[in-house]
């Protein structure tokens, strides 16, 4: 009895801590990693001691050591430093592509589900056409037209991922449109726009936060693939896909040049997905 009383009168902080301690540890790792990434993007010099471009041929292709925890590349630059300084490029491209993809999907999906007949039909067919193209082919097409650059990469990946999300959003909105509360609002005499704003969009787009987080991970992997193919950011920049591409030549002598950037990409995608999944399950539980 006293134990219960103590808990009830305990501070809010302690309750919050108790709640937090019930979360899976994987989520903590993901959040910690995300914070680290954020620092790398905003102020990479806080996490590194060397300059990402300082060349030291005497230390070329050294395996991981205390001075260079991820080893060094063919010019003696520390891979750790390169990875940290590359985070800005990689994440900007990844987040930018995810933003673009979800925004395009939102537009297409809403038009397909909510607009008047002809416009909705056009949007619907457009989504289907985008779908029939393999995303990679679509991305290659864009790069062929516009030339490889970070901007093109964002565009290519964003458009490549949009149709899948557009379809999901369209389905969500159509589901919400048929909900009983929409009919109830209609019967109350609320205008169509008011119903869309107050009921349909908020309910249909509940999963969007989660979708966005999931999409960041996917976009980073995508963007890295394009860079790896030499279709993204040009070599001096240390975008992770480009690092992978550069390390490929020394796969036998210095496998860490490929393995470590690869692991970083996987870790980013994993933590974005973990956070996204968590948000999704929270939303589904209605919290």
Partner 1 sequence: MSVSIAEDVDDAPARDAGDQTQVGADRLDRSGARLSVRNLSTAFRVGDGIRRIVSGVSFDLLPGECVAIVGESGSGKSVTARSLVGLAGRNGIVEAEALEIHHENALAFTSRTWRRIRGRDIGFVLQDALVSLDPLRPVGKEIVEALRLHRWGDRASRQQRVQHLLERVGVPYPAVRARQRPDQLSGGLRQRALIASAIALDPDIVIADEPTTALDVTVQAQVLEQLRQMKQRGASVLLISHDLAVVAQLADHIVVMQGGRVVEQGPAAQVLGDPEEDYTRALIAAVPSEETRGKPLSPGGAALLAGAPERDEDPQTVVLQADGLTKRFRTRDGSVTTAVDDVSFALHRGETLGIVGESGSGKSTTGRIALALERPDAGTVTLLGRQWTQVRERRRRAVRSRIAVVSQDPLSSFDPRWTVERILVDALPRRAFASGQRSGRIRELLDQVGLEHEVLRRFPLRLSGGQRQRVAIARALAQSPEIIVLDEAVSALDVTIQAQILDLLTALQRRLGLSYLFISHDLGVIAHLSHRVLVMKDGRVVEVGTPEQLFSAPAHDYTRRLIASIPAFDPESTA
Among 15, 51, 53, 191, contact with partner 1 (rule: CB under 8 A): 191
Stretch that binds partner 1, among 20-28, 49-57, 161-169, 178-186 (CB under 8 A): 178-186
Q: CB of 6: closest distance to partner 1 in angstroms?
A: 21
| Distance (Å, whole) CA 205 – CA 199 | 10
Cβ neighbours for 163, distance < 8 A, ≥ 6 positions apart: 105, 108, 127, 130, 131
**Do residues 158 and 97 touch, judged by C-beta distance below 8 A?**
yes
Give the number of residues in contact with partner 1, rule: CB under 8 A.
Answer: 18
Would you count residue 279 as binding partner 1 (CB under 8 A)? no
**Residue of 1, 25, 49, 286 that binds partner 1 (CB under 8 A):** 286
Size of the chain in residues? 287
How far, in Å, CA of 130 to CA of 173, rounded? 20
**Which residues is 72 bridged to in the sheet?**
78
**Do 167 and 131 meet the contact criterion of CB atoms below 8 Å apart?**
yes
Q: Which of 51, 65, 186, 253 binds partner 1 (CB under 8 A)?
A: 186
Residue whose C-alpha is closest to residue 239's, from 216, 256, 222, 214: 222
Nearer to partner 1, 95 or 182 (CB): 182
Computed on alpha carbons and rounded to an integer, the radius of gyration of the chain in Å comes to 23
Contact between 244 and partner 1 per CB under 8 A: no
* Residue 181 touches partner 1, criterion: CB under 8 A: yes
Q: Which stretch binds partner 1 (CB under 8 A): 20-28, 190-198, 243-251, 266-274?
A: 190-198
Closer Cβ to partner 1, 10 or 202, answer by number: 202
User: Which tokens belong to 254?
Assistant: 């210095």
Token reading at 233: 């950011």
> How many C-beta atoms lie closer than 10 Å to residue 183's C-beta?
12
- What are residue 78's DSSP bridge partners? 72
State the nearest-atom distance from the C-beta of 1 to partner 1, in Å. Answer: 15
Q: Where does this chain touch partner 1 (CB under 8 A) — which range of 72-80, 120-128, 138-146, 180-188?
A: 180-188
With CB under 8 A as the contact rule, the residue among 4, 25, 189, 236 that binds partner 1 is 189
Which of 80, 84, 45 has the alpha carbon at shortest distance from 62? 80
* Binding region for partner 1 (CB under 8 A) out of 3-11, 105-113, 148-156, 181-189: 181-189
Q: How far apart are CA 204 and CA 206, in angstroms?
A: 6
Q: Is 187 in the site for partner 1 (CB under 8 A)?
A: yes
CA distance 248 to 173: 45
Question: Does position 180 bind partner 1 by CB under 8 A?
Answer: yes
Query: Does the footprint of partner 1 cover residue 184 (CB under 8 A)?
Result: yes
Please select the residue that binds partner 1; options are 45, 183, 249, 284, rule is CB under 8 A: 183
The contact pattern for partner 1, residues 193-222, with x = CB under 8 A and - = no contact, is -----xx--xx-------------------
Smallest separation (angstroms) from partner 1 to the CB of 183 = 6
**Helix 240-247 × helix 208-228 angle, to 10°:** 30
Q: Footprint of partner 1 on this chain (CB under 8 A)?
A: 179-181, 183-192, 198-199, 202-203, 286
């Amino acid at each position: 009895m006293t134990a219960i009383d103590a808990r009830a009168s305990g501070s809010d902080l302690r309750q919050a801590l108790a709640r937090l301690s019930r979360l899976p540890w994987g989520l903590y790792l993901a959040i910690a990693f995300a914070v680290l990434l954020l620092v790398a993007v905003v102020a990479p010099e806080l996490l590194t001691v060397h300059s990402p471009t300082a060349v030291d041929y005497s230390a070329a292709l050294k395996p991981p050591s205390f001075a260079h925890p991820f080893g060094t590349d063919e010019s003696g630059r520390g891979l750790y430093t390169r990875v940290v300084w590359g985070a800005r490029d990689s994440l900007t491209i990844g987040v930018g592509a995810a933003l673009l993809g979800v925004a395009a999907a939102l537009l297409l999906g809403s038009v397909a589900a909510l607009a008047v007949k002809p416009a909705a039909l056009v949007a619907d067919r457009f989504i289907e056409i985008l779908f029939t193209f393999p995303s990679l082919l679509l991305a290659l097409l864009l790069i062929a037209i516009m030339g490889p650059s970070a901007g093109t990469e964002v565009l290519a990946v964003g458009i490549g991922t949009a149709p899948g999300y557009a379809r999901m959003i369209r389905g969500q909105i159509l589901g919400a449109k048929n909900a009983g509360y929409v009919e109830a609002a209609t019967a109350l005499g609320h205008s169509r726009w008011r119903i869309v704003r107050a009921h349909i969009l908020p309910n249909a787009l509940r999963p969007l936060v989660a979708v966005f987080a999931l999409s960041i991970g996917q976009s980073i992997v995508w963007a890295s693939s394009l860079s790896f193919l030499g279709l993204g950011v040009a070599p001096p920049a240390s975008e992770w896909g480009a690092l992978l591409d550069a390390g490929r030549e020394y796969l036998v002598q210095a496998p860490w040049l490929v393995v470590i950037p690869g692991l970083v990409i996987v870790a980013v995608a994993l933590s974005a997905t973990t956070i996204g999944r968590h948000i999704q399950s929270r939303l589904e539980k209605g919290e």
